[in-house]
Structure 1
Amino acid sequence: MPEQRVTVSITEGVADVRLARPEKRNALDPAMFAGLVRTGEELAHEPGLRAVVLSGEGPDFCAGLDFGSFQAMRDGQRLSATADLAPTDGPAQASGQRAAHVWTALPVPMIAAVTGNALGGGLQIALGADIRIVAPDAVLAVLEIRWGLIPDMTGTQVLVELVGRERAKELTFTGRRLSGTEAVELGLASRVDPDPRTAALALAREIAGVNPDAVRAAKRLLESSGRIPLRDQLAAEQKEIGALIGSPNQREAVAAGFEKRAPVFG
């Protein structure tokens, strides 16, 4: 990865992905944007992948844009646009959008483990996850307004879906900082844990132990829910269940259940 901004290790189908710029609180610069996008795109094609955990090295998840980016903005420059990335035909086009959406677009579940600061762009990266486990004393904020900006890394879409339009407006207009505990209360995160990374890896391993075909189908359906017409969503349900019933991994799930043993999926 560029300048090792992002590291990856894969064990038994679970990818442990870490932002690796702890001396800068894992702040986002062009190399970090590129590292996140490339890592996500590569994992999307990783054989045997079952789940992904994203966390930050050091005390912080990600403190948002680095100071160099803010300084460049005073001169009208947008450093994120200089990230070394190939064009994409996906819905997210800008580098920052891609760095968040690449995790949503993964075919397998992604869990963000949030400690310390998840501010501005750092929060939006976490919002790309399917599940967020946060430390109770983590600090989360839609901080862009404090820098005279708006969330532009898919946050305006995801925030509304998670906390509702009114709450999303309040958080965006004020930049108010939330503890991990309050983030869970508002629906911005799934649950608190004093050791989010360990908890996230344990959850990822649990997910990795069930039918991977069913997990991928469930993610596809849950991502499209509310975004396509109801008739199309219900038709998609029937298509997915039709493909699962009687498939090798589904038969193995049933056999393992009756035989009271761990399943072995292909």
Structure 2
Amino acid sequence: MSDRVRVEVVQSVAYVTLNRPEKLNGLDLDMLDALVNAARTIETDRSIRGVILQGAGDAFSAGLDFASAGKQPRRMAKAFAKFPGQKTNLFQRACWVWRELPVPVIAVVHGHCFGGGLQLALAADFRFTTPDCTFSVMEAKWGLIPDMTGTVTMRELAAMDVVKRLAITAELFDGNQALEWGFVSGVSDNPIKPAQELLSQIAVRSPDAVAATKTLLHKTWNRSPRGAFWIESRIQLALMRGKNHKIVRTANAAKKLPEFAFRKFG
């Protein structure tokens, strides 16, 4: 694994740490590659039940490292490219892979959460922050737009007028304001604690049902009822035929905690 991103698995939870603390975890091209590779490695380990995404040092991420990226124009051009059949370029993929993981991803945010760092956090399923964390859709400061999947994730979380305001002004806001606007799931002086508590709650549920629920909601959120109902039925039938559903039924009948098999869904 790249030194830009550390991955440590503890009790079936993958702790993924952005590891450029001397640059406030600024996103250079190596870190974008490392984020994609980390997610793909986690996806292949079916024993992992959840992910905590965090930043080393004094910040979650100060966003794209323009100084570093600007020194590699050819690599930058390649990072923007999409080949036939690809949904995302590298900048987008570094965020979107976490949304597509079949396990819950929780971003634990502190310090600065700017630009691409904010879009990375928004690609997680849940976000917990310190009250004094500073957020910004910082792209506007550079005469740019949010283009690392934020156009999808922000619209799911906040009102359009709020998103327009932030994307146009690059206004700074803190953790409590982020909660009020819907960008984070909770505020805590020690945000890793509620993140771990939530993953503990999730761990007693079927890993297949957790993965299926994440897939279901992402696929149906903006679909017509007809399309959503078809996806519901297809996923439910797959779960009912699975081993973990049988394990849950047996455990519930015996009034015991289930001991799940590794995830098969996703």
In the alignment, structure 1 residue 185 sits paired with structure 2 residue 172: no
Tell me, what secondary structure is at the counterpart of 1:44?
A: helix
- For residue 98 of structure 2, the aligned residue among 98, 103, 109 is 103
In the alignment, structure 1 residue 228 sits paired with structure 2 residue 197: no
What does residue 65 of structure 1 align with?
Answer: 64
Q: Answer yes or no: is the 8 Å Cα contact 1:30–1:81 preserved in 2.
A: no
- For residue 207 of structure 2, the aligned residue among 200, 204, 212 is 212
* Alpha-carbon separation, structure 2, partners of 1:256 and 1:152: 46
The offset of 1:28, in angstroms, is 0.6
Structure 2 stretches lacking a partner, 5+ long: 262-266
* Alpha-carbon separation, structure 1, partners of 2:121 and 2:84: 21
Alignment of 1:78-227 (within 5 A): 80-81=76-77, 89-92=85-88, 94-227=89-222
Is the alpha carbon distance of 1:202 and 1:183 closer, same or farther for their aligned partners in structure 2, counting shifts above 3 Å? same
* Alpha-carbon separation, structure 2, partners of 1:138 and 1:80: 29
The offset of 1:253, in angstroms, is 2.0
* Alpha-carbon separation, structure 1, partners of 2:197 and 2:111: 20
Which deviates the most, 242-251 or 182-191?
Answer: 242-251
What does residue 44 of structure 2 align with?
Answer: 45
Is the alpha carbon distance of 1:78 and 1:116 closer, same or farther for their aligned partners in structure 2, counting shifts above 3 Å? farther
* Alpha-carbon separation, structure 2, partners of 1:179 and 1:88: 40
What does residue 263 of structure 1 align with?
Answer: 258
Tell me, what secondary structure is at the counterpart of 1:112?
A: strand
Is the alpha carbon distance of 1:89 and 1:205 closer, same or farther for their aligned partners in structure 2, counting shifts above 3 Å? farther
1:65-88 Cα distance to aligned partner (Å, 9 max, x none): 125147659xxx4864466x9968
Q: Answer yes or no: is the 8 Å Cα contact 1:63–1:120 preserved in 2.
A: yes
- Matched to 2:212, the amino acid is A
- Matched to 2:213, the amino acid is A
Identical residues among aligned pairs (%): 40
What does residue 16 of structure 2 align with?
Answer: 17
Tell me, what secondary structure is at the counterpart of 2:44?
A: coil
- Tell me the matched-pair count: 260
Is the alpha carbon distance of 1:232 and 1:27 closer, same or farther for their aligned partners in structure 2, counting shifts above 3 Å? same
Is the alpha carbon distance of 1:87 and 1:109 closer, same or farther for their aligned partners in structure 2, counting shifts above 3 Å? farther
TM-score, normalization by structure 2: 0.90
Q: RMSD of the TM alignment (CA)?
A: 2.3
Q: Answer yes or no: is the 8 Å Cα contact 2:119–2:150 preserved in 1.
A: yes
Q: Answer yes or no: is the 8 Å Cα contact 1:50–1:208 preserved in 2.
A: yes
The offset of 1:246, in angstroms, is 5.7
1:62-118 Cα distance to aligned partner (Å, 9 max, x none): 011125147659xxx4864466x99684411x2110111010111111111111111
Is the alpha carbon distance of 1:146 and 1:173 closer, same or farther for their aligned partners in structure 2, counting shifts above 3 Å? same
Is the alpha carbon distance of 1:80 and 1:206 closer, same or farther for their aligned partners in structure 2, counting shifts above 3 Å? farther
Is the alpha carbon distance of 1:145 and 1:232 closer, same or farther for their aligned partners in structure 2, counting shifts above 3 Å? same
Structure 1 stretches lacking a partner, 5+ long: none
- Matched to 1:206, the amino acid is Q
Q: Answer yes or no: is the 8 Å Cα contact 2:220–2:231 preserved in 1.
A: no
* Alpha-carbon separation, structure 1, partners of 2:155 and 2:223: 17
TM-score, normalization by structure 1: 0.90
